[in-house]
Amino acid sequence: MSDALEAAAAACDEVAHELEQALAHVRVAAEHYRQGAAPRGAAHAWAAHGHLLEATERLGTQAREHARRSVPQTD
Amino acid sequence: MSRGGYVMHLGRVPYAEAWDLQRSLAGAVSQGAIPDTVLFLEHPPVVTLGRRTDESAELHIPEANNVEVVETDRGGKSTFHGPGQLVCYPILDLKRHGRDVKQYVRNLEEALIETVAPFDLTGERIDGLTGVWLTSPPRKLASIGVHVSRWVTTHGYALNVDLDPAPFTDWITACGLEDATFTTVAREVGRDVTVDEVRPHAVAALEAVFGLELEELPADDGAGLWAQPVHHELAAK
């Protein structure tokens, strides 16, 4: 595998990790809201939001890198 | 000029959950998804180890005490957390507060000194040591341990409000200090003092020291992420 593909795969792993953490936090948030613990639920919801933004940024970076490498060579 | 921020009172939260929450909220603060955010909470009994902890020298927990021990990424040595201790985790972007970690720790000490002043307690710093002390003789009232990544802070301080300080010396050599004495607000003022009584003073002190206007996330049923002025500001971005 080329270094570029390995870097792309690693970036995707990092995005997956961020999304898994976001998923875990929203599940905990739901649990706390059901127990009436609004601030604790909100804190976890915001934590999830942070992970989603991080995942979005990393995907964007990866997409830009992909686009940069995909520009066809012109004669 | 004051900046907006959030303050959340989370109640009693297991250490691992609170640590995970801090790290994730630090990401949200770093991303600009939320403003500076301050968590207030209490922990069930737990011993935490800092990056400078010497386990063989500092830990002597009796076998009968099945207390949780957690290795953390904060600075400092070992400490004990338990109910009756006001734990404060400010998640601040230091790019807005001077980019100076030493000054940040000094500011936390200042906030603690201001927090206990309404109880007629004169908190002091001791050269070469972090935390807030009463003198004389020296008695440690609050501990500080912080972590900073990408200029965003996690961990913070623990103020002994009303708890048995025996674990600081009987279970561990807290902060790595042999022969140190630990005290509480309640012990010093000679009456029961609750964490709820101290917390408003802690919020006001952080606002004053860090130039923040902290908006409390209400705990009322149904209150949550909406109808918060700061949220409206964020939404307008």
Q: Could you tell me how many residues make up chain A?
A: 75
Which of A21, A40, A50 lies nearest to residue B11, judging by beta carbons? A40
Handedness of CA B38, B39, B42, B44 (dihedral sign): negative
Which of B17, B20, B224 lies nearest to residue A42, judging by beta carbons? B224
Which of A37, A39, A54 lies nearest to residue B27, judging by beta carbons? A54
**Cβ separation B30–A50 shorter than 8 A:** yes
Q: Rounded distance, CA B37 to CA B217, Å? A: 10
List, for residues B32-66, the tens digit of each pLDDT value.
888 999 999 999 999 999 888 787 778 888 888 88
- Among B18-32, B81-95, B193-207, the range scoring the smallest mean pLDDT is B18-32
User: pLDDT exceeding 70 applies to what percent of chain B?
Assistant: 91
Q: Say if residues B224 and A44 touch (Cβ distance below 8 Å).
A: no
Per-residue pLDDT band for B225 (boundaries 50, 70, 90) equals very low
To test the contact with chain B by mutation, choose from A25, A26, A49 the residue with the greatest count of B C-beta atoms within 10 A, namely: A49
**Residue B131: pLDDT over 80:** yes
| B132 interfacial to chain A (CB closer than 8 Å) | no
Find the mean pLDDT for residues B157-179: 87
Q: Write down the pLDDT at residue B145.
A: 94
List, for residues A8-33, the tens digit of each pLDDT value.
999 999 999 999 999 999 999 999 99
Contacts of B100 (CB under 8 A, 6+ apart): B94
Query: What residues in B contact A39, CB-CB < 8 Å?
Result: 8-10, 217-219
Query: What residues in B contact A41, CB-CB < 8 Å?
Result: 224
Active site residue B88: no
CA distance readout (Å), A51 to A14, A46, B154: 11, 9, 16
Q: Rounded distance, CA B76 to CA B68, Å? A: 18
**Omega into B90 within 30° of 0, i.e. cis?**
no
**Omega into B137 within 30° of 0, i.e. cis?**
yes
To test the contact with chain A by mutation, choose from B24, B40, B43, B234 the residue with the greatest count of A C-beta atoms within 10 A, namely: B24
The catalytic residue among B175, B198, B202, B212 is: B175
Helix, strand, coil percentages, rounded to 5, for chain A: 85, 0, 15
Q: Write down the pLDDT at residue B232.
A: 55
List, for residues A34-66, the tens digit of each pLDDT value.
998 888 998 999 999 989 999 999 999 998 888
Contacts of A22 (CB under 8 A, 6+ apart): A48, A49, A51, A52, A55
Query: What residues in A contact B9, CB-CB < 8 Å?
Result: 39
**How many angstroms separate the CA of residue A63 from the nearest CA in chain B?**
19
| Nearest CA-CA partner of B151 in B51, B34, B30 | B30
Q: Say if residues B62 and B170 touch (Cβ distance below 8 Å).
A: yes
Place of tokens 């997409």: A63
Find the mean pLDDT for residues B211-226: 67
Identify the DSSP state of B93.
Answer: B
| B28 interfacial to chain A (CB closer than 8 Å) | yes
- The answer, as to whether pTM is greater than 0.95, is no
Contacts of A17 (CB under 8 A, 6+ apart): none
Residue A33 tokens, joined: 């809201």
Query: How many Cα atoms occupy the beta-carbon half-sphere of A21 within 13 Å?
Result: 24
| A38 interfacial to chain B (CB closer than 8 Å) | yes
| A30 interfacial to chain B (CB closer than 8 Å) | no
Q: Say if residues B145 and B31 touch (Cβ distance below 8 Å).
A: no
